[in-house]
Amino acid sequence: MGRPETIFLKKTWRALGVLLLAVVSAAAQGQRASPVRYTEAREQSVRRTIVLPGSVESRVESVVAAEVSALVVELVAREGDTVEKGAPLVRLRTTTFEIRLQAAEAQHKEAEARMKLAERNLERARELFASKVISQQQLDDATYEFTAWQGRVEQLQASITGIKLDIARCTIRAPFAGVVTRERTEVGEWLGEGDPVMEMVSLDELEVRIEVPERYFRLLHVGGRATVSFESLPGLEVAGSISALIPRADPQARTFPVKVRVPNREGRIGVGMLAQVTFAGGESYRATLVPKDAVILRGPQQFVYLLNGDNTVSMVTVETGTGVGAWIAVEGGIKPGQKVVTRGNERLQPGQLVQGQPLDYPLP
């Protein structure tokens, strides 16, 4: 027989245990299931990918130069400005050209008047020569006079056209749509013909330059697809295509330059950004695929929530591999046919009760 105090304590702990179980059970029964969407993992043959670093370059870069010698009176565009093709960048003083234009137009008017007079004299000389009043020499002189003034008029017209062109060139315009990356002149500076005024790059379509090891170079071809991501733009992936394979290896690194063209319609990608380029160029293998939406990143850890048969979820750590459209290959405890949570998975906890609805993703 135990002591009465010991028996009393044992009975008390049993009662507390029963009460605690009842409370937990009641809480579990009253827990609301979180709505989620799930998709079944699939097995499919995929091609291993080649992932290499690269650097963004502009397909079009230009040092815009002055076409005439003149004084800078205005910088219309400044460093960092985005400009359209033909937009003014710099204005030069036109006073000297306008004075030359006035003089040339005045000379042109005089030459036209003298040409018309010479033309009338030639017509009269022809009539007189037909009547045998003047000699052949006099007719030739009248013809020469008219021809000379006619040439003078054409010469002055060409000079006027050239001066007007120089006046137009005093407004230096953007040769293409892009961004001003550097100013090379200032207001008040005298520019000579060919002196630089601005540096520009086009951001409409960029290229990523990658140094590809020799063993991978033979697997690539112009027009081949690639996926490009950027260290400074997390979450952004851009579909590109191989635009150039340069068959000249670096003699020390034994790598070949490859260029991948990427669109930049929103202008988020900058020249010089570091990029990571993924090529599909390896051998095929069987892999377990899950939608990319199922993979959650928390620091260096990647994991997926599995939907269990009792409508709870469990967290499984995975390693990701080749991406195939909206799907990605995973390794680490996920089997084909298992249900992975693809919507509502950001706030889940292991063991949480959920209410799942299927969500289909098109297979690649």
Residue for token pair 């006027």: 160
CATH 2.40.420.20 intervals, the chain: 34-45+285-358
pLDDT, residue 93, reads 97
Q: Is domain 51-59+202-283 given the CATH code 3.40.605.10 in the classification?
A: no
Q: What is the mean pLDDT of residues 83-106?
A: 96
Q: What is the mean pLDDT of residues 20-27?
A: 37
Per the model's pLDDT, the better-predicted residue between 4 and 224 turns out to be 224
In whole angstroms, what is the distance from residue 224 CA to residue 216 CA?
A: 13
CATH 1.10.287.470 intervals, the chain: 64-200
pLDDT, residue 161, reads 97
Q: Identify the three-state secondary structure at position 28.
A: helix
Strands 34-40 and 354-358, by their bridges, are parallel
Tokens found for residue 22? 């009842």
Q: What is the mean pLDDT of residues 176-197?
A: 94
Q: What is the pLDDT of residues 257-272, one digit of tens each?
A: 999 999 988 888 988 8
Mean pLDDT of the chain: 87
In whole angstroms, what is the distance from residue 202 CA to residue 174 CA?
A: 11
User: Which CATH number is associated with domain 64-200?
Assistant: 1.10.287.470
Strands 196-201 and 178-183, by their bridges, are antiparallel
Kindly give, in sequence order, each residue whose CB lies less than 8 Å from that of residue 220, ignoring residues fewer than 6 positions away: 212, 242, 245, 258, 279, 281
Residue for token pair 């400009």: 83
Instruction: Answer yes or no: is pLDDT of 6 > 90.
Output: no
In whole angstroms, what is the distance from residue 276 CA to residue 295 CA?
A: 20
pLDDT band for 167, please (50, 70, 90 cuts).
very high
Q: What is the pLDDT of residues 24-45, one digit of tens each?
A: 333 444 468 899 999 999 998 8
CATH 2.40.30.170 intervals, the chain: 51-59+202-283
| Residue 315 CA to its chain's centroid (Å) | 38
CB atoms under 10 Å from CB of 254, counted, come to 12
User: Which CATH number is associated with domain 34-45+285-358?
Assistant: 2.40.420.20
pLDDT, residue 282, reads 63
Pick the closest to residue 39 from 364, 337, 270, 261 (CA basis): 337
Q: Is residue 277 within 8 Å of residue 239, measured between CB atoms?
A: no
Pick the closest to residue 76 from 176, 171, 195 (CA basis): 171
Q: What is the mean pLDDT of residues 341-363?
A: 91
pLDDT, residue 31, reads 60
pLDDT, residue 100, reads 96
